[in-house]
């Protein structure tokens, strides 16, 4: 059993690397971005409330995301471990994650932080915009998401450093090379 927080700015490869980690370790994937986009696609109340925040590049309020994550965790009790992709994004979310995991007798084992240069992040997301047409992949919204990452999400690095769970990984280069770096870090902590 291993529980991994996959961390990094928008476009750092969290979703991309999660897919490969799931295949290798058989973990359950909890991507708050994917769950929220599904809620929007299905036209749920939560989706309607989340859409304006996501379209503007803001974070969806903590209480909404924490409640959503808690429901998913409770429904996957028998999982061999989790990849938390895009969650937590605030210190409040990180505290809530610890509390919820503790109720299940679990904990975060490692926080893998993907480090990517800003120009590369913007390049990747603008390329994705062409492929998928995601509403939040416009230059203006990308810049906003990067600001939000710096002000609200980066403080989590200290949160996990204090618990000796922080591992920095170079997120520049090919998807496979980056995956190899992540696997080394994960295997070391098992
Ligand atoms: P997310 O869905 O988490 O989106 P993201 O940060 O853009 O990262 P993603 O995982 O999709 O992209 P990746 O880097 O893999 O969040 C979207 C929004 O949802 C947030 O802005 C917020 O509003 C809301 N939200 C989500 N979670 C929340 C929370 N916990 N609290 C509050 N709000 C929340 O990939 C990007 C692109 O790069 C892809 O096209 C990929 O193919 C490419 N790529 C990846 N690796 C590459 C490489 N090595 N080389 C070249 N290209 C690469």
∠ at Cα 181 (165, 149), nearest 5°? 55
Give the count of alpha carbons within 13 A of 83, CB side only.
25
Structure tokens at 6: 């996959």
CA of 154 to the centre of ligand 1 (A): 15
Rounded to a whole number, what is the distance in angstroms from the first to the last CA of the chain? 8
Is 10 near ligand 1, meaning CB less than 6 Å away?
Answer: yes
Q: What is the pLDDT of residue 128?
A: 95
As a whole number of Å, the CA-based R_g of the chain is: 16
Q: What is the pLDDT of residue 75?
A: 83
Cβ proximity of 119 and 7 under 8 Å: no
CA of 47 to the centre of ligand 1 (A): 18
Name the pTM for this structure.
0.94
Q: pLDDT digits over 113-127, tens only?
A: 999 999 999 999 999
Q: What is the pLDDT of residue 22?
A: 95
Q: Which residues of the chain have pLDDT under 70?
A: none
Is 29 near ligand 1, meaning CB less than 6 Å away?
Answer: no
CA of 72 to the centre of ligand 1 (A): 20
Q: What is the pLDDT of residue 76?
A: 81
Q: Distance between CA atoms of 169 and 108, rounded to whole angstroms?
A: 17
Is 13 near ligand 1, meaning CB less than 6 Å away?
Answer: yes
Q: What is the pLDDT of residue 78?
A: 79
């Amino acid at each position: 059993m291993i529980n991994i927080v996959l961390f990094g700015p928008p476009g750092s490869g969290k979703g991309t690397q999660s897919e490969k980690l799931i295949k290798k370790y058989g973990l359950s994937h909890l991507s708050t971005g994917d769950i929220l986009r599904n809620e929007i696609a299905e036209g749920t109340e939560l989706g309607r409330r989340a859409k304006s925040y996501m379209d503007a590049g803001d974070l969806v309020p903590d209480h909404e995301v924490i409640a959503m994550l808690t429901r998913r965790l409770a429904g996957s009790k028998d999982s061999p471990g989790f990849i938390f992709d895009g969650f937590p994004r605030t210190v409040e979310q990180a505290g809530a994650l610890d509390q919820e995991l503790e109720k299940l007798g679990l904990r975060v084992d490692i926080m893998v932080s993907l480090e990517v240069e800003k120009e590369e992040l913007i390049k990747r997301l603008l390329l994705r915009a062409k492929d998928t047409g995601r509403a939040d992949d416009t230059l203006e919204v990308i810049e906003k998401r990067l600001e939000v990452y710096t002000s609200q999400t980066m403080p989590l690095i200290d949160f996990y450093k204090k618990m000796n769970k922080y591992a920095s990984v170079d997120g520049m280069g090919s998807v496979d090379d980056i995956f190899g770096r992540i696997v080394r870090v994960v295997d070391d902590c098992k």
